[in-house]
Amino acid sequence: MSSERPPALLAALAIVGVAFFILPLAGLLARAPWQSALGELTTPEALTALRLSFVISLAATALALLLGVPLAWIYARVPFRGRDLIRALTTLPMILPPVVGGVALLFAFGRRGLFGQALDAIGIRLPFTTFGAILAATFVAMPLLVLTVEAGLRSMDRRYEDAARTLGAGRWIVFRRVTLPLIAPSVFAGAVLCWARALGEFGATITFAGNLPGTTQTLPLAVYIALETRPEVAIMLSVVLLAVSLAILVAMRDRYLRAF
Amino acid sequence: MLRAQIAVRLGTLDLDVAIDVAAGEIVAVLGPNGAGKTTFLRALSGLVPLDAGRVTLDEVVFDDVSTGIHLAPERRPIGVVFQDYLLFPHLSALENVAFGLRARGASTKNARAAAESWLDRLDLGPYKEARPRALSGGQAQRVALARALATEPRLLLLDEPLAALDASARGAVRRDLRRHLASFDGIRIVITHDPLEAVALADRLVILESGRVVQTGSPAEVTRRPRSRYVADLVGVNLFRGIATAGHVALRGGAAIQSADGVDGEVFATVHPRAVALHRARPEGSPRNVWRGHASALDFQGDRVRVGIEGEMPIVAEVTPAAVRELDLAEGGEVWVSVKATEISVYPA
């Protein structure tokens, strides 16, 4: 690749752009209490939030895989009336303010919600439970997985599936033994993006599942609460989230670009 | 016995063919790109639904549009070697060959054992655990053949089996393929655009052009009596069509030629380029067919030159470079053309 000298104006604006992202990170790192870092991170509240965040984000990713891969397959392979509309509806949480998603979940599955009363009658309560937090995270994060997997399905060479069928494989075996292995990179990329989004989830979770330590208080919620009372804990939790996110982005950069 | 009547409309392609293939026969379906060859193969495989027609293999009905029968691809006793082979990239050569047996219900152990013996039979013993990307083109083709044969199909379909190979490897792989095809006793259909491949591999040629069968016969019959411009170009002869009356052939386009063959009615006439003589002035003597034209293209091929002649009767002549110099031939230059009546082969259209 040949390097090109950029026009001065472009270079200057690009530098401002980089600074805009770097400076807040620098502020965070500069204020981090590095001497007492381990102490701040190993407080019971912090450890609980950390553990809960991983449980909820991984469970949300598993749920998104279970429901999202079939959905992506339908979108990529089955043309039906209204497909574009349905796809838009299931993608909406990506651009919707998460708080709005949380409110919508509350009025659907809350105790006084459209379906919540029926669920309540059979003894299922979702709001303000860990499972509710998992649903909130899945709601906002699954569209990333669906879009990534759908792109993978659309770009794969479908003639491999034809070859499998002439060898005697029915549709399910074709999916399990040919399609799925061939789109594995896309599924993996989608799952990582989904997990990262679920890990950072805040708005829908606090609205639908509340902020109960040990039950629904995930890392981002703990950061928000700690900022008022113990800023050094908030900073260290933020640094942890930052490190995890950066690691994901660096590891994913090729796949991320390829999927979109 | 395969009986296939297949009508498929797909985009701009209008495929409508009827082909019968006897047990044990090797047929090559030869045609230019876009003729519908691959669609024909996909229709036989069940991967493309028919718009009309009926396909049966012995007593098994694959398709019958009139009664709504369509046997799914996975339920047809067929083996397909696809263009580019389409070996599953995430599986080893052995797992690729075992795939069909596993899909048809064999245990892992039995499928692996059968796959191993197929790989050994095709001289692929050392490559059992190799991934497809580590195989050469010729090896990949043999794995694809083993994969297709492992399920013991009664109909083997091969789509451009040599097209993915380097020209340097093609000859050896073609000889191998010929040997392996000979050891399989079911019906074999090879789809190809390469006449050499078709002639080398098949007992019978089916020429497919624009979705229609234009000619079928042994390689010798087809090359001796081309029935389309495509086949004539493949064989390298001049092809004309017209109406013959006692040796006088009135061609489409107004010109006429004299032939020594006594066929009447709608005919094809062929002239080999070597039989076309060129002169600077109107020739004297016996040739019955003499006309004037312009040299439109000079194509130097080693010790021969193919000269395209335009005029009332366009034709291609093949002469020596020395003749080109003697005739002072240049593109656009005037030239007289003569062909002996005995050099014109005429046969019914």
In tens, the pLDDT along B311-327 reads: 888 888 999 888 888 88
A184 falls within a domain:
yes
- What is residue A248's predicted lDDT score, i.e. its pLDDT? 78
Q: Map residue A222 onto helix, strand or coil.
A: helix
B286 and B256 in one domain? yes
Contacts of B163 (CB under 8 A, 6+ apart): B83, B192, B193, B194
The count of CB pairs under 8 A between chains A and B is 65
Whole domain around residue B10: which residue ranges? Answer: 2-232
- What is residue A205's predicted lDDT score, i.e. its pLDDT? 93
CA–centroid distance for B213 within its chain: 11
User: How many C-alpha atoms does A52 have within 13 Å on its Cβ side?
Assistant: 28
Largest CA distance in chain A: 68
Verify whether the Cβ–Cβ distance A162 to B151 is below 8 Å: no
Of the residues B199, B232, B265, the one at which a domain ends: B232
- What is residue B343's predicted lDDT score, i.e. its pLDDT? 87
Going by pLDDT thresholds of 50, 70 and 90, the confidence category of residue A249 is: confident
List for chain B the helix, strand, coil content (%; round to 5): 30, 35, 35
Verify whether the Cβ–Cβ distance A181 to B90 is below 8 Å: yes
Whole domain around residue A84: which residue ranges? Answer: 41-259
Smallest CA-to-CA distance from B335 within B303, B305, B293 is with B293
User: How many domains are there within chain A?
Assistant: 1
Element holding B20 (H helix, E strand):
strand B13-21
CA pair distance A17, A27, nearest whole angstrom: 16
What is the tens place of the pLDDT at every residue in B132-167? 999 998 899 999 999 999 999 999 999 999 888 888
Of the residues B232, B263, B284, the one at which a domain ends: B232
Neighbours of A190 (CB within 10 A): 30
A167 falls within a domain:
yes
Residue A178 is given by DSSP the state: I
Residue B286 has pLDDT above 70, yes or no: no
Smallest CA-to-CA distance from A207 within A119, A107, A125, A118 is with A107
Dihedral angle of Cα A161, A166, A167, A172, to the nearest 10 degrees: 50
8 Å CB contact between B256 and B340? no
Paired tokens of A251 = 């590891």
Verify whether the Cβ–Cβ distance B100 to A168 is below 8 Å: yes
CATH classification at residue B89: 3.40.50.300
Tell how strand B69-70 and strand B60-64 pair up. antiparallel
Going by pLDDT thresholds of 50, 70 and 90, the confidence category of residue A259 is: very low
Tell how strand B315-319 and strand B304-311 pair up. antiparallel
8 Å CB contact between B326 and B286? no
A4 falls within a domain:
no
- What is residue A254's predicted lDDT score, i.e. its pLDDT? 62
> DSSP string spanning B318-342?
EE-HHHHHHHT--TT-EEEEEE-GG
Paired tokens of B244 = 């013959």
What is the tens place of the pLDDT at every residue in A62-78? 999 999 999 999 999 99
Going by pLDDT thresholds of 50, 70 and 90, the confidence category of residue A242 is: confident
User: How many C-alpha atoms does A102 have within 13 Å on its Cβ side?
Assistant: 19
Q: Map residue B307 onto helix, strand or coil.
A: strand
CATH classification at residue B251: 2.40.50.100
3-state SS of A117-143 is HHHHHCCCCCCCCHHHHHHHHHHHHHH
A238 falls within a domain:
yes
Kindly list the residues from chain B whose CB atom is less than 8 angstroms away from the CB atom of residue A177: 99, 103
B41 and B72 in one domain? yes
**Candidates B72, B89, B103; nearest CB to A167:** B103
Kindly list the residues from chain B whose CB atom is less than 8 angstroms away from the CB atom of residue A162: 42, 45, 47, 73, 82, 86
CA pair distance B47, B40, nearest whole angstrom: 10
- Chain B contact for A158, CB < 8 A? no
- What is residue B287's predicted lDDT score, i.e. its pLDDT? 65
**Candidates B72, B76, B82; nearest CB to A163:** B82
B265 and B328 in one domain? yes
Distance of residue A59 Cα from the nearest chain B Cα, in angstroms: 28
- What is residue A1's predicted lDDT score, i.e. its pLDDT? 52
User: How many domains are there within chain B?
Assistant: 2
What is the tens place of the pLDDT at every residue in A186-204? 999 899 989 989 998 999 9
B48 and B30 in one domain? yes
- What is residue A260's predicted lDDT score, i.e. its pLDDT? 37
B228 and B124 in one domain? yes
Of the residues B232, B257, B290, the one at which a domain ends: B232
CA pair distance B51, B17, nearest whole angstrom: 12
N residues, chain A: 260
Positive/negative CA dihedral, B325, B327, B328, B329: negative
B208 and B66 in one domain? yes
- At A155, the amino acid letter reads S
B163 and B312 in one domain? no
A191 falls within a domain:
yes
CA pair distance A209, B164, nearest whole angstrom: 58
B190 and B44 in one domain? yes
- Chain B contact for A170, CB < 8 A? yes
CATH classification at residue A157: 1.10.3720.10
Mean pLDDT of A85-95: 92
What is the tens place of the pLDDT at every residue in B227-276? 888 888 888 888 888 888 888 888 887 788 888 877 888 888 888 888 89
Verify whether the Cβ–Cβ distance B86 to A160 is below 8 Å: yes
